[in-house]
Amino acid sequence: MKAVIMAGGKGSRIATVKNDIPKPMIPIAGKPVLEYEIESLVRSGITEIIIVVGHLGSVIVDYFSDGSQLGATISYYSEDTPLGTAGALYYLKDKLTEPFFLLNGDIMLDIDFIRMMRYHRDKNATVTLFTHPNSHPFDSALIFTDSLGRVTKWLHKEDERSIYKNRVNAGIHILSPDILNLFDGAFVDLDRDILKPLVSYGHVYAYDSPEYVKDMGTPERLKRVEEDVLAGKVRGRNLKNRQKAIFLDRDGTLNKYKGFITKPQDIELIDGVAEAIRRVNDSDYLTIVVTNQPVIARGECTIDELNDINATLETELGKHGAYIDGLFYCPHHPDRGFEGERPEYKVECDCRKPKPGLLFKAAEIFNIDLTASYMVGDSMTDVMAGMNAGCQAILIDNAMESTKENESYESLLEFVREIIPS
């Protein structure tokens, strides 16, 4: 497999930090951000790399040379005139005859590239985008998908949005070589000119992952990325490594309990929840929501309506710079006799809490060590689900006393402050 890294940008937003070197060469904890990208590729066995250079490109060529010191084979393409985010691919198509990775050269990352390529091949995709949640979805490009992971809608920063699932295009792509027939050697905006128009054909997929991928394009973000490198968070979040998570119930734990919620407008965050989740986001824990939603089986809500409700939760959290890494729900309800109920969901399942199926599913997808994780909820059903999965169970309910089996806290924020101190 090959990788192409686009490293020709000027980085105008970060120029106050360094204006005499290309943005991908800005040092973080002693070495350029581009070097971290190359090292991550090499650790996944991707050693043949083409770097597209432009502004001050000789700085990059002189530093990396042929790449042998990093275990890679690096060649270069120099843009005489700017060709946009991917126009240079037209001139590389003879070298790109198999699916290849295309990366922005100015992002800090550490991901399992092989895992992403396996997903691309399993989906028989033409394009696969790496997507993830971030703390500023309101000024990021948002990706919408169907239940199979196929991209259905793409919103740019300036596009109006109301409620949304916090899934952002991260600047990592897998492209099949056929896509290069769409290029003509002119200036190209990859997202707007090539990828977004392909969405309607159904061959663009999103690979969603909580692995570490962050833009370091402002002085504030650069400082934060360096802190994360030094703390080991960047390498640690690679899904080759065992993760730990805080599993969260939804209703009564994150949003105010109002009975069965069947409308997005009924989502109202509990005071302190956004602060708690921001603190978890900044830690070594993943944030995973696991929730029973019998409204589907009872016929009180459709899957699309439930998706809108969950998107509202993510939208409200995003307004406060908080996000969840994953959300899993059980649509089943074994009891019958409800008007409009859906018989296909009236089953005994393995995912309805207190059974641990939702936690097991998340653990498989995200390589989570359940014994190092917590399950937090406002009912004994949540507590039992956590215990059945092998997690430490935490009850959020100031009316109930702690037992030997579980601890009790008045709020999610109180619990998070204890295990993740400032």
Q: Is residue 230 part of a domain?
A: no
Residue 346 forms beta bridges with which residues?
Answer: none
Domain boundary among 222, 250, 271: 222
Q: Is 249 a catalytic residue?
A: yes
pTM of the model: 0.93
The pLDDT profile of the chain, 422 residues, written as one tens digit per residue, is 899 999 986 655 555 566 688 999 999 999 999 999 999 999 999 999 999 999 899 999 999 999 999 999 999 999 989 999 999 999 999 999 999 999 999 999 999 999 999 999 999 999 999 999 999 898 889 999 999 999 999 999 889 888 999 999 999 999 999 999 999 999 999 999 999 999 999 999 999 999 999 988 888 889 999 999 999 999 999 999 999 999 999 999 999 999 999 999 999 999 999 999 999 999 999 999 999 999 999 999 999 999 999 999 999 999 999 999 999 999 999 988 888 899 999 999 999 999 999 999 999 999 999 999 999 999 999 999 999 999 999 999 854 444 545 678 999 999 999 999 87
Q: Per-residue b/e over 22-47, b at no fewer than 16 CB within 10 Å? A: bbbbbebeeebbbbbbbebbbbbebb
Both 54 and 169 in one domain: the answer is yes
> Is residue 193 in a domain?
yes
Could you tell me if 283 and 181 lie in one domain?
Answer: no
Residue 227 lies in a domain: no
Q: What letter represents residue 132's amino acid?
A: H
Of the three residues 222, 251, 269, the one that is the final residue of a domain is 222
Cα angle for residues 314, 318, 319 (degrees, 5° grid): 125
Same domain, 211 and 283: no
**In terms of domains, do 190 and 246 share one?**
no
Q: Where are the beta strands (DSSP E) in 340-411?
A: 374-377, 392-396, 407-409
Domain count, the chain: 2
Residues 143 and 273 in one domain: no
Angle at 89 between CA 87 and CA 90, to 5 degrees: 80
Claim to verify: residue 40 and residue 116 sit in the same structural domain: yes
Does residue 180 share a domain with residue 288? Answer: no
319 part of a folded domain:
yes
65 and 11 together in one domain: yes
Same domain, 250 and 211: no
Q: What are phi and psi of 73, to 5 degrees?
A: -115, 110
The domain that contains 384 carries what CATH number? 3.40.50.1000
Pair 190, 279 in one domain: no
Residue of 228, 251, 325, 378 with catalytic role: 251
CATH number at residue 171: 3.90.550.10
Whether 397 sits among the annotated catalytic residues: the reply is no
Measure the CA–CA gap between 84 and 8, rounded to whole angstroms: 9
| Assigned domain for 314 exists | yes
User: Residue 175 is inside which H or E element, if any?
Assistant: strand 168-175
Contact 22, 217 (CB under 8 A): no
The predicted structure's pLDDT at residue 138: 87
pLDDT of 159-179, one tens digit each? Answer: 988 899 999 999 999 999 999
In a domain, 234, yes or no: no
* Structural domain harbouring 295: 242-419
Pairing of strands 107-110, 212-215: antiparallel
From residue 348, alpha-carbon distances to 90, 336, 352, 392, 402 in Å are 55, 12, 8, 25, 30
Same domain for 213 and 270:
no
Phi, psi of 143 (to 5 degrees): -115, 130
Kindly name the residue from 112, 249, 378, 382 that is annotated as catalytic. 249
Query: Torsion over CA of 316, 321, 325 and 330, rounded to 10 degrees?
Result: -20
Same domain for 145 and 92: yes
